[in-house]
């Protein structure tokens, strides 16, 4: 009996210490304004009072009824109230977060929609600039030659293609031009294949400047007798220097490569200069070879370019085909066996395509597309000598 009494005393001391510790935690929670701290304290006080009442009754100090069961029930009810409040608070918070998130999504969607509309408007304006420039280039890039001894064909595939309203167009820095001039009372066909530096609008701007100046040079010959007394060698040199001086004013920011050709109507004598442009290809007797001048000039507009110009002279014969082309003919991305694309490094690939297609430009282009894709603008000029 004595041992039981001591054990009960120890338990009571432990309960008392636990009450003190729990009270300390509750006070700390109240200071930190924790949710449900007041309810927990109220339930804990009731539970503590009923527990003390039962202890005192057990020691015959008081004669009140046992109340711990009621106190515990009230404590549990208070705990349930705390949980309900926490769940309610969490639910309300989640609703607020959901509404806030929805508002943010709506706001962000509206911002993205506005940005998209701005991008579309800028794209529309850019395509409008592209369209206007392409329309300005069209009159310049025409085959205006009227020859009885040769026939001329153009092929143009600019890399940048776009749609402006209902029009599908393309734009780039490559340009093909042909016309007729008179030199020394002889009729000549003049052809030029040019490639202005830069992509899309920048290249097209260079081509527009080049085409406008070159067209004015042609018109001057056609309308001014004095320029018709020059020799082919003199005219082609003067034309190159005049074009070069125009592009020099851009301080090297706009360069143009070209092949410029004169062909005399009756004798079919050819005069040609090359300014850092891919060499012309001569297709004769089912064999294609490069027709390279002794001197490759630097691009138009290159600062400090050498003005000592040598002109290649060559005799064309019946059934000859001469093909001029920009560097797009060599700048191919060729698909390898593993599916990756590699740059073409075979300088003779174009020669083999000319031979295989017998100089037909559309067939050459289709053959190029079979083995790869264009990396740059492509222009080709075919000059067929009549038999």
Domain spans, the chain: 2-97, 138-385
Identify the bridge partners of residue 274 per DSSP, sorted by sequence position: 259, 296
Give the span between the Cα atoms of 31 and 98, in whole angstroms.
31
Give the span between the Cα atoms of 322 and 178, in whole angstroms.
14
Give the span between the Cα atoms of 20 and 92, in whole angstroms.
35
Q: Please report which helix (H) or strand (E) contains residue 72, including its range.
A: helix 68-137
Q: What mean pLDDT do residues 257-278 have?
A: 95
Average pLDDT, the chain: 86
Supply the pLDDT for residue 211: 95
User: Using one digit for the tens of pLDDT, what is the confidence trace for 183-213?
Assistant: 999 999 999 999 999 887 888 999 999 999 9
Supply the pLDDT for residue 83: 77
Token couple for 74: 């009230």
Residue 164: pLDDT above 60?
A: yes
Cβ atoms 322, 280 nearer than 8 A: yes
Supply the pLDDT for residue 343: 86
Cβ atoms 273, 308 nearer than 8 A: no
Residue 118: pLDDT above 70?
A: yes
What dihedral angle (degrees, nearest 10) is formed by the CA atoms of 144, 145, 151, 156?
-40
Supply the pLDDT for residue 97: 85
Residues of the chain with pLDDT > 70, as a percent, come to: 89
Token couple for 337: 């066996």
**Residue 230, φ and ψ in degrees, nearest 5:** -75, 155
Residue 30: pLDDT above 90?
A: no
Q: What mean pLDDT do residues 20-48 have?
A: 69
Supply the pLDDT for residue 11: 64
Q: Which residues of 159-181 are buried (b: 16+ CB within 10 A; e: fewer)?
A: bbebebeeeebbbbbbbbbbbbb
- Say if strands 186-196 and 174-183 run parallel, antiparallel, or are unpaired: antiparallel
Token couple for 181: 């001039």
Give the span between the Cα atoms of 54 and 40, in whole angstroms.
21
Most confident listed range (4-13, 166-175, 339-348):
166-175
Residue 101: pLDDT above 60?
A: yes
Supply the pLDDT for residue 7: 60
Q: 166 versus 68: which is more confidently predicted?
A: 166
Supply the pLDDT for residue 27: 73
Give the span between the Cα atoms of 66 and 30, in whole angstroms.
30
- How far is residue 25 from each of residues 54, 76, 335, measured CA to CA in Å? 24, 18, 74
Number of residues that this document lists for the chain: 387
Residue 274: pLDDT above 90?
A: yes
User: Using one digit for the tens of pLDDT, what is the confidence trace for 227-248?
Assistant: 899 999 999 999 999 999 999 9
Could you tell me the pLDDT band of residue 70, with boundaries at 50, 70 and 90? confident
CATH 3.90.110.10 fits 138-385, yes or no: no
Residue 1: pLDDT above 70?
A: no
Residue 121: pLDDT above 80?
A: yes
Supply the pLDDT for residue 325: 95
Token couple for 84: 């309900």
Q: Please report which helix (H) or strand (E) contains residue 363, including its range.
A: helix 361-371
Residue 2: pLDDT above 60?
A: no
Give the span between the Cα atoms of 86 and 302, in whole angstroms.
79
Residue 377: pLDDT above 80?
A: yes
Q: 217 versus 64: which is more confidently predicted?
A: 217
Q: Which residues of 64-103 are buried (b: 16+ CB within 10 A; e: fewer)?
A: eeebbeebeebbeebeeebeeeeeeeeeeeeeeeeeeeee
Residue 290: pLDDT above 70?
A: yes
Supply the pLDDT for residue 89: 79
Whether the predicted model's global pTM rises above the 0.85 cut: no
Give the span between the Cα atoms of 262 and 218, in whole angstroms.
12
Residue 261: pLDDT above 90?
A: yes
**Residue 333, φ and ψ in degrees, nearest 5:** -100, 110
Supply the pLDDT for residue 35: 59
């Amino acid at each position: 009996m004595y041992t039981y009494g001591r054990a009960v005393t120890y338990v009571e001391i432990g309960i008392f210490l636990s009450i003190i510790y729990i009270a300390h935690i509750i006070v700390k929670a109240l200071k930190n304004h924790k949710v449900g701290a007041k309810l927990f304290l109220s339930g804990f006080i009731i539970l503590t009072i009923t527990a003390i009442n039962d202890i005192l009754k057990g020691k015959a100090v008081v004669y009140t009824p046992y109340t711990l069961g009621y106190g515990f029930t009230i404590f549990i009810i208070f705990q349930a109230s705390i949980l309900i409040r926490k769940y309610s608070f969490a639910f309300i918070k989640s609703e607020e977060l959901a509404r806030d998130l929805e508002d943010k999504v709506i706001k962000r969607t509206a911002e993205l929609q506005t940005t998209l509309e701005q991008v579309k408007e800028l794209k529309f304006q850019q395509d409008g600039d592209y369209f206007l420039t392409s329309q300005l280039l069209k009159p310049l890039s025409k085959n205006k030659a009227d020859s009885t001894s040769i026939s001329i064909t153009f092929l143009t595939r600019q890399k940048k293609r776009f749609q402006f309203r209902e029009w599908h167009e393309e734009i780039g820095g490559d340009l093909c031009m042909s016309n007729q001039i008179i030199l020394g009372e002889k009729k000549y066909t003049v052809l030029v294949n040019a490639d202005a530096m830069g992509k899309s609008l920048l290249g097209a701007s260079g081509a527009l400047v080049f085409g406008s100046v070159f067209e004015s040079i042609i018109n001057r010959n056609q309308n001014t007798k004095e320029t018709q007394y020059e020799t082919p060698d003199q005219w082609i040199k003067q034309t190159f220097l005049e074009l070069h001086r125009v592009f020099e004013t851009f301080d090297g920011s706009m360069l143009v490569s070209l092949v410029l050709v004169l062909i005399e109507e009756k004798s079919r004598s050819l005069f040609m200069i090359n300014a850092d442009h891919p060499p012309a290809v001569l297709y004769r007797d089912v064999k294609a070879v490069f027709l390279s001048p002794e001197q490759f000039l630097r691009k138009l507009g290159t600062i400090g370019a050498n003005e000592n110009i040598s002109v290649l002279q060559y005799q064309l014969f019946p059934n000859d085909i001469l093909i001029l082309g920009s560097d797009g003919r060599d700048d191919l991305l060729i698909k390898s066996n593993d599916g990756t694309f590699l740059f073409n490094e075979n300088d003779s690939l174009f020669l083999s395509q000319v031979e295989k297609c017998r100089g037909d430009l559309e067939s050459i282009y289709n053959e190029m597309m079979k083995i790869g894709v264009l990396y740059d603008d492509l222009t080709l000029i075919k000059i067929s000598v009549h038999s």
